[in-house]
Amino acid sequence: MAIGARPAEIVRMILRQGMGLAIGGIVLGVLGAFTLTHAVKALLFGVTPTDPVTFVGVAAVLSAAALVACYIPARRAAQIDPLRALRIE
């Protein structure tokens, strides 16, 4: 913000970076879960090992949690006075 960024741009930048990492982790987790389903197949009762509703539901909940976890600090960062932040540095 000290070099001209608007608060909305700060929020968008932080959300893009944080959600990029979160989505990458979710994709790797889903791929890992698909590959390891044969190991836990005997422990599952009432669902198939690759139940699409379960996978989509878990991915949606994790995405929502990551979005909230990124948005709160992004909003706080956008509200910081640039002069005060520069004086602290």
Domain presence at residue 15: yes
How far is the C-alpha of 40 from the C-alpha of 20, rounded, in Å?
A: 29
Kindly indicate the confidence band of residue 89, based on its pLDDT and cuts at 50, 70 and 90: low
Q: What is the pLDDT of residue 5?
A: 81
Domain hosting 47: range is 7-88
Rounded to 5°, the CA angle 51-58-60 comes to: 120
- Total domains in the chain come to 1
Kindly indicate the confidence band of residue 17, based on its pLDDT and cuts at 50, 70 and 90: very high
pLDDT above 90 (res 44): no
Domain presence at residue 14: yes
> In 1-89, which residue ranges form alpha helices assigned H by DSSP?
7-35, 37-40, 52-78, 82-88
Domain presence at residue 1: no
How far is the C-alpha of 52 from the C-alpha of 44, rounded, in Å?
A: 14
Domain presence at residue 50: yes
Kindly indicate the confidence band of residue 70, based on its pLDDT and cuts at 50, 70 and 90: very high
Domain presence at residue 34: yes
pTM: 0.78
Domain presence at residue 2: no
